[in-house]
Structure 1
Amino acid sequence: MVKMVARTARRRGGGPGAAVLAAFTIGTACGRDLTSLDPATFPPEAEIFYDDFGPGLHYSAFGGSKVDALDIERDEVYRGTAALRFTVPAPSDPSGGFAGGAFFSEVARDLSGFDALTFWARASTAATLDRVGIGNDNSGTSRFPAKFDNLSLSTRWTKYALPLPLPSVLTEERGLFLVADASEYEVGYDLYFDDVQFERLGTIINPRPVIPSRTVSGEVGGTLTVGGTQVIFDVNGTDVTVDAAPSYFTFTSSNPTVASVMPDGSISLVRPGTATITAMLGSTPAAGALTVNIDSPPSDVPPVPTVPAEDVISLFSDAYDDVHVDTWSAEWDQADVADVVLAGNPVKKYSNLAFAGIEFTSSLIDATSMTHLHVDLWTNDASDFRIKLVDFGADGAFGGGDDREHEITVGPGSTPSIAPRSWNTLDLPLDAFGGLGTRGHLAQLIISGASPTVYLDNIFFFRTETPDPPDPTDPPEPAPSPTDAAADVISLFSDAYTDVAVDTWSAEWDAADVEDVAIAGNVAKKYTNLVFAGIELTSQTLDASGMSHFRMDIWTPNETAGAAFKVKLVDFGANGIYDGGGDDSEHEVTLRAADGLATGEWVRLDLPLSDFTGLAAREHLAQLILSGDLNTVYVDNAYFRRPAAEAARARPTRSINRDPIGEKP
């Protein structure tokens, strides 16, 4: 069976769809009131369902639907003795995600004498019917489907009419009626249909066919499709829009030697050039036109890269050994990729490109020593090409809280610039990906742009012989890695350990700015404009009663002679809230140059918790407050610790250890 996606966007009353749905309605009834409807004449082969299935009619449930959703209803009927009932499942129902299927005839019917599909319908609760239509026999080969989405149903019997886009072509139609609906609530409900048939109403007039006006691009030998075709009808004085398959239309190409169009709306791309596709619905011209630009594929190959192999991490290039890439088109992207050979050189060809995900999540790339990303790009449309890099952070997982990403856009006016229909060599400085922060755990490269077809080659990270010197106001190297055993640590922030939850590293009430920065692939907290910074764990206070020290690495470019740096711990007490008294307690320790505070070096603070004498308890620690005379401070490896088991009996001493950069702790 052919699977149809039944869930569609909802259209609520009072919005733009209200008039459309009102026009779709012919009349309403309570019980069996027929006074608002003239008796209908039913030509042969009009019946789909009166009190039973029409002649030769069958029902086929859509794939993924609740297959037993359809039943014959004997109580809630509009007229006669029976109606159709669809049981729409709740979203959590394991038997299917929606109710729906197609009613089709064994023998094709001639529907050319009718102008509408009509039916009476109601719901057990006010609901929006996702889709109703004709022309789909659930075989996968239907030529003339037409549909109307988001039809409002009430609890009263109401008659509806779906205009047939072009009855004259429906001379051999097997797909007679389709319904599909997914619950918009947490529970399911029932839909009822009765007197489902084809009629010639005579009140459906002024058809206005439409094809979307847009410009598309492709390559010689490829195929495109005209989509989004619709017909707008005047039904009882109000416009109703029906989505109609391209097969209802007759298409014309302004230049068939460039692009020829088939009856089903598929366009064959013959040779380079431009063609305009227009359409007719019967004898009525359709509004809109499709402009098709056709190019030839690349006739040459990009230059062979010359960067020494020892300075390269290659994803795809004949010139180097490539690292492992999990996929060149992730499951979640919207693109097709193929390996093609141009003049003996393999390249990646992306077509139908909206965005493509290139993933190396199983083996993350550490590009901290690299300075640039190299990509050779060939595109038909150079107006916009985007490259995004994604770093999964130290936990190596997406969504772990430490993910970082940045996207840059190149075009004709950018540096570097790109041109259409030629190979463009892009050497992109990794510093340009400013939002990335770190590039020690790169996991994804995502491309997108204006052209639906692009070719890529020689994708690699590389470093220059003379990388830019580091900013002298920033640490040239990360803080030394701590060596305390994880079992003896409660970490607030460190790549070496699993951190507990911290609500904020800069509370609303503080006077400081904070950001995450990468130092040679290691993330640190950078405080600027520091007067006092509030680090809060108020939603889940911390029990440090089993710990003996608070440790933190700091680095500052500011002069420390005569300056002070202060560390305060605050315990909210057993009630776990700040109440300005009661069981709250706090203590602040002040550090100066005489204690080891220094400029331009990582300084390790290893503060015995016994020195925080004003702290009455430490079972409910909720705040860490940093303050002092230093305007800029880098912070890393902030955690509580206890001595290793063999040293647990040693008397703790107050110490502020200052380790030169590069020495082990």
Structure 2
Amino acid sequence: MKKVKFINLKIIVLFVLIFLTSIGCTRDFSDDTLATYPKTAEVFIDGFSAGLGYGAFGNTLLTGFNVDSDVKYKGSASMRFDVPNVGDPSGAYVGGVFIDGGGRDLSGYDALTFWAKGSQSATINELGFGNDFNQNKYLVSMTNVPLATYWKKYIIPIPDASKLTSEKGMFWYSEGPENGQGYTFWIDEVKYEKLGNLALPRPAIFNGVDKLENTFIGSKTTITGLTQTFNLGSGIDQTVGVAPSYFKFDSSNESVATVSELGVINVIGSGTTVITAKLGGVDAKGSYTINSLGVFTPAPTPTRDAANVISIFSNAYTNVPVEYYNGYYAPYQTTQGQADININGDDIIRYTQLNFVGTQFSQPTVNATAMTHFHVDIQVQEAMTAGDHIRIQLGDFGANAVYGGGDDTNGSVNYTNANLTTGSWVSFDIPLANFSGLTSRSHLAQILFISDATISNILVDNMYFYAQPNAPTVAAPTPTVSAGNVISVFSNAYTNIAGTNLNPNWGQATIVTQPVIAGNTTLKYAGLNYQGIQLGSSQNVSAMTFLHIDYWTANSTSLNTYLISTGPVEKSKVLTVPTAGWQSVEIPLSDFSPVNLSDVIQLKFDGNGDIHLDNIYFHN
């Protein structure tokens, strides 16, 4: 059975619970001391070296660390770490940092070494040096460190010792339960050494992969997969995770993109550049070729009331806790990428090599029984052909809220290349009732995009569930056109045409009312088939330029408006439905040709659904 790990230091928020609490002797850090930076190599040899303090990570078992005089590798004492069981109310794991507040000059050493063993065979999640509860500028980590039940020596190579002239973070660790159970491990003889036999340094960025991606001006991303590998004196290779500040980054075309000391890439122009790096003068394996396509058009900003939204991914709302935007499901998934790009402050999901990919939010699951729709914005970044498709699937984990618990359900909706546009955002507002097979929405936990490799590269934004209200909760926008330039049919903001009949008997099935919304009178057509407005007198609007209409509908799939002159002569204009909030349109009166604009007598609407209207007026 695969062991269960509950802690990953890379994703938890660190804060000091016990900061620089003296564990051994203390010293007064004078200005001279701070300036000279002692070269002290010892961290723990039968006790802590002078000046060392301890800071615990958040949510740790504070009693989990002790000095043990009974079990030791050498001398009279060792460090003992008692990992808690899953569910221990006193702490979820053990983890902390040993700090020298004055700093040390470690430039004369090439490794941190220690001896360790466990009460059982286990794997320590992470440990290393360079964590100082501040910038962690020269952080080094060794992950998944195997423990035996007997003492073994471990070596953490220093990637570039010349950087460590004033280092404060002497040693740090983080470990959680193994298969849900706690255990004990010991560490002893922790010190920095000059081994002199570390050979064949092999730094890497992006885990040694040569990446190529299309992006846009304003994109910001951070270089990942930073490692350094040495061949130890034993002949074994040892790889450690390395902070960006160890590297010297280079952009082949800085007019396209620049790279900061912290490995943050900023795309500033159009064109192509290649990002590479060196560590200690050695070329790092891996690169990042950027093709900047120029100015980026973001997805439409959502305007729905946050009170009616459960957001999975959007900068417009507060998102629910999400475990991942890419589960990297082995062995059949090829999809790369996740929520890993930022363009002008807008976070965007980018998937490449898409065949299928999953977003999971099961801790806790989402109760969307009050929601009516799922929204997502998708931009395809490649040419499409017939047969290309993307299937959107929602998964519910059932009453037990556990995947594979026997009561899971899912449903999907398929969109072909005819529904998508290369290089442009397409917004999908999908009724949850359309996800056939999804028999429950009370424990939603997954969203999947499935293309079967027909479409490989997409951008995704604004994934959220929402409840479509039956009526607007806010008034239509207040008009700002000067009354002297307006002929108003229906609006609280102007004097309307006298004698106008808003509900003439034309044999229609539409039910007309005038509800007040947020203090503003609106015109509501319920169950629209067609509906007329008979003006109080013939109107000459030939000197006007536009017909303005504000409208709101949650359920219409067809809506047209007409101008009618004596004859009758009429012409329609299609309105886009449904709407996301109030929709304001300015229709050029020229669009209603051949209607006689000097003799307009009626307006008409036809279509379906329930329509709210306001601010119907002609203006310049």
Corresponding position of 2:245: 247
Matched, 1:175 2:169: yes
- Give the 3 Å change call, closer, same or farther, for CA 256–375 of structure 1 in structure 2: same
| 1:255 CA displacement | 1.5
Q: Deviations over 1:441-475 (max 9, x none)?
A: 7997946586674456999999xxxxxxxxxxxxx
Q: State the AA in 1 paired with 2:7.
A: A
Residue number in structure 1 paired with 2:220: 223
Paired letter, 1:223: K
In the alignment, what sits opposite 2:411?
406
Distance (whole Å) between structure 1 residues aligned to residue 204 and residue 54 of structure 2: 32
**Alpha-carbon offset, residue 274 of structure 1:** 2.9
**Which of 274, 280, 283 is the equivalent residue of 2:281?**
283
TM-score under structure 1 length normalisation = 0.50
Q: Which amino acid aligns with 1:351?
A: I
Counterparts in 2 of 1:89 and 1:424: CA distance versus 1, 3 Å: closer
* Partner Cα separation in structure 1 for residue 223 and residue 230 of structure 2: 21
Contact 1:217 1:451 in 2 (8 A): no
Q: 1:401 to 1:122 in 2, by over 3 A?
A: closer
The SS at the match of 2:174 is: strand
In structure 2, the partner of 1:99 is: 94
- Residue 374 and residue 138 in structure 1: after superposition, are their counterparts in 2 closer, same or farther (change >3 A)? closer
1:202, CA displacement in angstroms? 1.1
- Between the aligned residues of both structures, percent identity stands at 32
- Taking the aligned partners of 1:460 and 1:6, their CA distance within structure 2 comes to 33
Matches within 5 A, 1:277-356: 277-296=275-294, 324-329=308-313, 330-332=320-322, 334=324, 351-352=348-349
61, 65, 70: which one aligns with 1:66: 61
Q: Distance in 2 between matches of 1:457 and 1:126?
A: 43
Q: 1:326–1:360: 8 Å Cα contact kept in structure 2?
A: no
Cα deviation for residue 98 of structure 1 reads 1.3
Q: 2:418 — aligned with what?
A: 416
* Alpha-carbon contact 2:41-2:191 (below 8 Å) kept: yes
Matching residue within 72, 77, 83 for 2:72: 77
Report the alpha carbon displacement of residue 281 of structure 1 after superposing the two structures with TM: 0.8
1:232 is aligned to 2:237:
no
Aligned to 2:436: 436
Contact 1:218–1:452 (CA under 8 A) maintained in structure 2: no
Letter in 2 for 1:421: G
Q: Is the 8 A contact 1:69 1:87 kept in 2?
A: yes
- 1:363 paired residue among 370, 374, 398: 370
Conservation of the 8 A alpha-carbon contact between 1:325 and 1:360:
no
Q: Is residue 157 from structure 1 mapped to residue 162 from structure 2 by the alignment?
A: no
User: Contact conserved, 2:380 with 2:424, CA < 8 A, in 1?
Assistant: yes
Q: CA 1:357/1:288 → structure 2, altered by over 3 Å: closer, same or farther?
A: closer
Q: 1:5 Cα shift?
A: 7.1
Quick one: distance in 2 between partners of 1:386 and 1:165?
Answer: 45
Label 1:217 to 1:357 Cα distance change in 2 as closer, same or farther (>3 A).
farther
Cα RMSD after superposing both structures: 4.5
Contact between 2:398 and 2:409, CA under 8 Å: does it hold in 1?
no
Instruction: Rate the CA distance shift 1:301–1:69 in 2: closer, same or farther, 3 A.
Output: closer
* 1:64–1:96 contact (8 Å) kept in structure 2: yes
- Of 146-155 and 184-193, deviating more is 184-193
- Partner amino acid, structure 2, of 1:68: T
SS at match of 1:96: coil
Instruction: Output aligned runs, 1:568-647, within 5 Å.
Output: none
The CA deviation at 1:270 is 0.7
Cα offset, 1:286, TM superposition: 0.8
Deviation at 1:394, TM superposition (A): 12
Of 191, 194, 198, the residue aligned with 1:200 is 194
Paired residue type of 1:405: N
Which residue of structure 2 aligns with residue 603 of structure 1? none
Amino acid in structure 2 at the alignment position of 1:6: I
Q: Distance in 1 between matches of 2:272 and 2:382?
A: 14
Code of the aligned partner of 1:249: F
Task: Report Cα offsets for 1:230-271 as digits up to 9, x if no partner.
Answer: 111111212111111122111111221111001111111112
Q: 1:75 to 1:453 in 2, by over 3 A?
A: same
Do 2:312 and 2:464's aligned partners in 1 also have CA atoms closer than 8 Å? Answer: no
Letter of the 1:238 partner, please give it. I
* Aligned-partner residue type, residue 152 of structure 1: P
Aligned CA distance change for structure 1 residues 186 and 170 (closer, same or farther; 3 Å):
same
Other-structure match for 1:56: 51
Question: Aligned-pair distance for 1:416?
Answer: 1.8
CA distance 1:130–1:397, change in 2 (3 Å): closer
> How many pairs align?
392
Answer whether contact 1:57 1:106 (CA < 8 A) is retained. Answer: yes
Distance 1:262 1:127 in 2: 38
Correspondence for 2:261: 263
The CA deviation at 1:206 is 0.8
Q: Aligned residue for 2:25?
A: none
Aligned to 1:190: 184
Taking the aligned partners of 2:74 and 2:398, their CA distance within structure 1 comes to 68
Q: Structure 2 vs 1, CA of residues 146 and 325 (structure 1 numbering), >3 Å: closer, same or farther?
A: same
Mapped partners of 2:47, 2:132: distance in 1? 19
1:386–1:68 CA distance, 2 compared to 1 (3 A): farther
State the 1:288 CA deviation: 1.1
Q: What are the superposed Cα offsets for residues 61-103 of structure 1, whole Å, 9 maximum, x if unpaired?
A: 1112111211111121222222211112222322111112111
Decide whether the 8 Å contact of 2:378 with 2:458 is kept in 1.
Answer: no
CA contact (8 A) 1:364 1:396 kept: no
Q: Could you state the TM-score of these two structures normalised by the residue count of structure 2?
A: 0.54
Distance in 2 (CA, whole Å) between partners of 1:175 and 1:438 is 51
> 1:460 and 1:116, CA in 2 relative to 1: closer, same or farther beyond 3 A?
closer
How far apart, in 2, do the equivalents of 1:193 and 1:394 lie? Answer: 44
Is the alpha carbon distance of 1:189 and 1:460 closer, same or farther for their aligned partners in structure 2, counting shifts above 3 Å?
Answer: closer
TM superposition shift of 1:205: 0.8
In structure 2, the residue matched to 1:547 is: none
Residue in structure 1 matching 2:138, options 136, 144, 152: 144
Contact 1:132 1:149 in 2 (8 A): yes
Q: State the one-letter code of the partner of 1:195.
A: E
Please say if residues 120 and 196 of structure 1, whose CA atoms lie closer than 8 Å, have aligned partners that are also in contact: yes
Deviation digits for residues 9-45 of structure 1, max 9, x if unmatched? 9xxxxxxxxxxxxxxxxxxxxxxxxxxxxxxxxx941
Aligned to 1:133: 128
Amino acid in structure 1 at the alignment position of 2:321: E
Q: Does the C-alpha gap of structure 1 residues 79 and 357 become closer, same or farther in structure 2, counting only changes over 3 Å?
A: closer
Task: Trace 1:640-655 onto structure 2 (pairs within 5 A).
Answer: none
AA aligned opposite 1:74: S
- Output the CA distance in 1 between the equivalents of 2:272 and 2:76: 60
1:46 maps to 41
Unaligned runs of 5+ in 1: 10-42, 303-314, 343-347, 368-372, 463-665
Matching residue of 1:633: none
- Do 1:379 and 1:455's aligned partners in 2 also have CA atoms closer than 8 Å? no
**Whole-angstrom CA distance in 1 between matches of 2:464 and 2:145:** 52
